[in-house]
Chain A
Amino acid sequence: MSNCHGNHEQGNCKTTGLCPIVTFPEVVNIDEIRDEIPEVKTFYLSFPNKDVEREFRIKSGQFIMCTVFGAGEFAVSLPPSPENDRFHISVRAVGKVTHALHALRVGDKLGVRGPFGNGFPFEDIKGKNIIYVAGGIGLIPLRSSIVHALQHREDFGRIILLYGARSGKDLMYQEDIKEWQQNAGFETFITIDRAEAGWDGEVGYVNQLIEKANVPVDNSVAFVCGPPVMFNSVIGEFLKRGMSEDAIISTLERQMKCGIGKCQHCAVGRTLVCTDGPVYTYRQIKTLGEQI
């Protein structure tokens, strides 16, 4: 392949049409670090190798394997939209490697492999309403898709975001949300688990927003991301309203080590989250025969 990164010898380009960085991490620079919410930081990255940067194209819903040199690798979803968006990742410090990442400074280097995974099925959902349902940091993998949908606003019907977090300070991407709200035809419904001083919005769980938002069931798709407990109650609510199992779409999270379907850590049923996922429909998830 003429436009491969020289990272491997085969044309591993069937997923994206472009060539992912498969075996050896490509070095990226940390240009900026922002504190997002407690425990979560956003890292803005750029490739010193501009040839690679030009070729590095993502699809909404894909992920990368990110190396913190000296600590290890972790899988992380990609919040930037495929078009005109700064390359960045938002990461919660939850394990050994992500804690090491949080200790880094601007100017430090990271390694990146990817992008991997199937991405959200944008081609199939033109003309439909999109309902985004996110809990806590579940908004991270959905961000890419929201920005993309808003950039192609005319392709879709209603676009609704139902978002819930533990408290007001746990709401991700608040500036982005403000910006999106100014977009004509973007409806947001936000809730927090418990009432708190200074909060005059909704209080309760995210599944209660479905009623509130008068969510359309026909000709709609729902992208659902969040902790399993939220996932189950939201899906139950959608199914009760008669939404089809194929129209409920989510991303699964698993331990990943290789990203290319070889190490098998992310096997769920007979599929691998890294190559067959991470985006699955509820109908698929139901037949995988495992806990989510």
Chain B
Amino acid sequence: MSMYILSSQEIKQLAQALQASHEVYGPQVDPQTQQVFFDQLDDVAALNLEAPIPSMPVKEILFPQMERILKYNYDSETQSVEMSKQYFEKPKVLFGLRPCDLSGILALDRFFLGQEFVDDVYLTHRRQCLLISNTCLNPFPQCFCVCTHSGPDADEGFDLDLTKLKDGYLVKVGSEKGQAIADAQQWKPAAAHHLTEQKAVVDHCIDLFPEMATDNKAWISRVMNRITTGFIKSETWEFIGDQCLECGACSFVCPTCSCFNIEDTQTACGECERLRMRDSCSFEGYARMAGDHNPRQPVEDRRNKRFFCKLSYSQSKKYLRPGCVGCGRCQWVCPGDIGLPNVVQYIRREITGGEN
């Protein structure tokens, strides 16, 4: 793997150069609210690689809240139909992804592109996407990526990976696409001491995590094991389920949640479009069928589905890793205090018989 050392100036130049051929997305701080958004950059001057974690995950760009996938026109008089595909996209660069968000994308990749069928819509977005990750320097109090092996530094899946060191950015190349970019530039190769420095940066970041996160490391896998083998008491699930307000916020801020709904709607001019929009398994109508039969009526069935999904069914059983990347956003937004770290805590308490 080749490595280079770049000045902050050269990083901006890279973003600038990529803007010629790509839409460049990166973290930026809203001057009014101080909130961080991972959004398209009109001007690379707004790119802020030291900003805290963005409020919304980067899946926003690859798997938007709502997107049009098909447009059609049906004329009932002539009984004729015209249809067209709607999701051709420009190439994009995700510049300065946090490793947790990068892991989120890799989880979506496994899900949408792996398995029996390929999701054509996601594939179209993904194929034209360049991923530039950025080692995390400042975790949230809620962060626990050290427990899910998805941070604070990235070790796979990126095209380029950045780490801020004292005298500039260490740039690791992770793919042929990334190497092609490096080859086109006159970058200075990194020296051995830069790698040592990077390790120190990562170690420092891990020290910033609350004790609970580092302490929880083995607990996530233990809880996954308990859930997968069906050893959790139903009272524990009921306790967790009772705190859910069914707002769906956890699903919408989660980098790996991928459920969606599909609806056809008519536009004003008589055309129809097929929209796909994110959905959440905690919603009451999620599994309800025509004729009002709802097989997932019992609340605990529905409310805890998400935790089964993250910690047992979809990701861990198929890929042997949690469907959680430890970004802590669910903990941050949940009004009922059942973000994933807390759920792990509750189950942990059950296992240890109430201690901790």
Contact = CB atoms under 8 A, between A and B. Distances in A.
Given A107-B79, A270-B313, A262 B279 contact: no
A266 B296 CA distance: 10
Interface in A238-292: 253-255, 257-258, 260-270, 275, 289-292
B264 A291 contact: no
A43 interface: no
Interface residues of B, number: 51
A253 B289 CA distance: 9
Task: Say which size band chain A's interface belongs to.
Answer: 35 or more
A260 B301 CA distance: 23
A14 B116 contact: yes
A291 B297 contact: yes
A70 B258 contact: no
A260 B287 contact: no
Contacts, number: 128
Given A69-B272, A270-B312, A255 B81 contact: no
A195 interface: no
Contacts of A74: 290
B279 to A, nearest CB: 7
B159 to A, nearest CB: 21
Contacts of A23: 69, 120-121
B266 A70 contact: yes
B99 to A, nearest CB: 25
Contact of B116 (A24, A261, A289): A261
Nearest to A10: B118
Interface in B119-142: 119-121, 123
Contacts of B309: 264, 267
B118 A8 contact: yes
Main secondary structure of the interface of A (DSSP, over half): loop
Given A255-B288, A263-B259, A15 B79 contact: no
A70 B120 contact: no
A9 B113 CA distance: 12
Contact of A73 (B258, B264, B296, B312): B264
A27 interface: yes
B74 A69 contact: yes
B115 A109 contact: no
B288 to A, nearest CB: 7
Contacts of A267: 281, 305, 309, 313
A75 B301 CA distance: 23
Contacts of B308: 270
A72 B264 contact: yes
Interface string A53-91: 000000000000001011111100000000000000000
Given A69-B272, A109-B79, A98 B117 contact: no
Contact of B119 (A25, A260, A268): A260
Contacts of B79: 107-109
B296 A262 contact: no
Contacts of B279: 263, 265
Contacts of A9: 118, 120, 123
A141 to B, nearest CB: 15
Nearest to B117: A260
Interface of B: 69-70, 72, 74, 76, 79-81, 83, 85, 111-112, 115-121, 123, 230, 258-264, 266, 272, 276, 279, 281, 286-291, 295-298, 301, 305, 308-309, 312-314, 317
Interface of A: 8-10, 12, 14-15, 22-25, 27, 67, 69-74, 94-98, 107-109, 111, 253-255, 257-258, 260-270, 275, 289-292
Q: Can you list the 9 inter-chain pairs with the closest CB atoms, starting with the nearest?
A: A95-B290, A69-B74, A260-B117, A270-B313, A94-B291, A10-B118, A72-B264, A23-B120, A264-B259
Given A12-B118, A24-B70, A261-B115, 18 more contacts: A10-B123, A12-B117, A67-B264, A71-B264, A109-B80, A255-B290, A258-B119, A258-B262, A260-B116, A261-B116, A263-B260, A264-B259, A265-B287, A269-B313, A270-B314, A270-B317, A275-B117, A292-B295
5 contacts: A69-B264, A72-B262, A258-B260, A262-B119, A291-B301
